[in-house]
Amino acid sequence: MKDPASGTQPAGLSTHGGNVTDQPSNNPRIGLTGGIAAGKSTVARRLAEEHGALIIDADAIVRKLQEPGGRGLAAIVAEFGNDMLTADGTLDRARLGALVFNDEGARARLNAIIHPMVREEAQRIADSATPGQLIIEDIPLLVESGQAGRFDHVMVVEAPLMERVRRMVEDRGMHEDDAHARIKAQATDEQRREVATHVLVNHGSVDELHQAVDAAVATILAVPRDADSGRGTD
Ligand SMILES: CC(C)(COP(=O)(O)OP(=O)(O)OC[C@H]1O[C@@H](n2cnc3c(N)ncnc32)[C@H](O)[C@@H]1O)[C@@H](O)C(=O)NCCC(=O)NCCS
Ligand SMILES: Nc1ncnc2c1ncn2[C@@H]1O[C@H](COP(=O)(O)OP(=O)(O)OP(=O)(O)O)[C@@H](O)[C@H]1O
């Protein structure tokens, strides 16, 4: 995985890869990413409601894998021990979070377990797309996990750092130190921009963000699919 702290390029990260999956080529495949609380879900909702996109939510897949009985949870316990379970057998998210957001090596071990499983599940959902439907994979850690090359387009949502921290602290009740630890564990805006084909700057109203989404979709649909074997740029 790309380590934001070291700034090294992860093996397998391509900024020029085309659609390397089995998906029929008339489904534009778009990776959606951005830092925590930047506005990814708001963008995804607009893409679904206004543009009929199929949304594949990596976080939701992770949570399912981590449910009791899930293969993700079993693998986490095998790697990190029974301590990572609460008394009722569910994942102790606070405990695992405290470990992996403060220890790069542990985070890499967790990612090596979970990320390949997420990709498999995502492909299963993508296979259900209708012809021509936009396929959006909302992947918070798209850059960190070196997946940019899997997509025809990469949309990055950016919002001012202080506004993101405010949302996490005021709206979600997170401690400010925890908010910063999560941001530090992720790629930087600059690293995301390196692989972005579309940057949506979310520093205004939700309406303005929607307009930016619509404009990005218009440029994506304007590219003839048969000429779209590689990645375009804005
Ligand atoms: C460690 C866990 C249990 C902590 O759970 P918790 O409820 O406290 O945090 P939550 O999942 O809401 O994540 C908070 C923020 O941290 C980010 N984040 C999650 N995992 C990671 C990671 N491995 N590296 C960097 N950032 C991460 C999330 O994208 C989110 O923005 C959980 O984050 C987890 O299982 N992470 C590994 C799975 C993963 O990589 N998820 C990202 C989907 S691509
Ligand atoms: N332009 C905006 N103006 C006001 N509020 C906004 C704007 N964009 C997003 N928000 C709000 O900020 C919060 C975070 O947005 P959202 O859930 O879309 O971010 P996210 O990137 O998906 O978050 P996470 O990383 O936690 O999944 C939400 O409550 C959303 O309604």
Q: What is the ipTM of this complex?
A: 0.88
DSSP assignment letter at 140:
T
The answer on whether 149 is annotated among ligand-binding residues is no
State how far the alpha carbon of 230 is from the alpha carbons of 122, 126, 129, 131, 156, in Å: 21, 19, 21, 20, 18
Element (H, E) at 215: helix 206-222
Ligand nearest to the CA of 32: 2
Q: What is the pLDDT of residues 75-91, one digit of tens each?
A: 999 999 999 999 999 99
Mean pLDDT of the chain: 87
pLDDT over threshold 80, residue 21: no
Q: What is the pLDDT of residues 172-204, one digit of tens each?
A: 999 999 999 999 989 999 999 999 999 999 999
Joined together, the tokens standing for residue 109 give 């071990």
Give nearest CA residue, ligand 1 atom 40.
Answer: 111
Give nearest CA residue, ligand 1 atom 4.
Answer: 97
3-state secondary structure of 30: strand
pLDDT over threshold 50, residue 11: no
Q: Are the C-beta atoms of residues 129 and 27 closer than 8 Å to each other?
A: yes
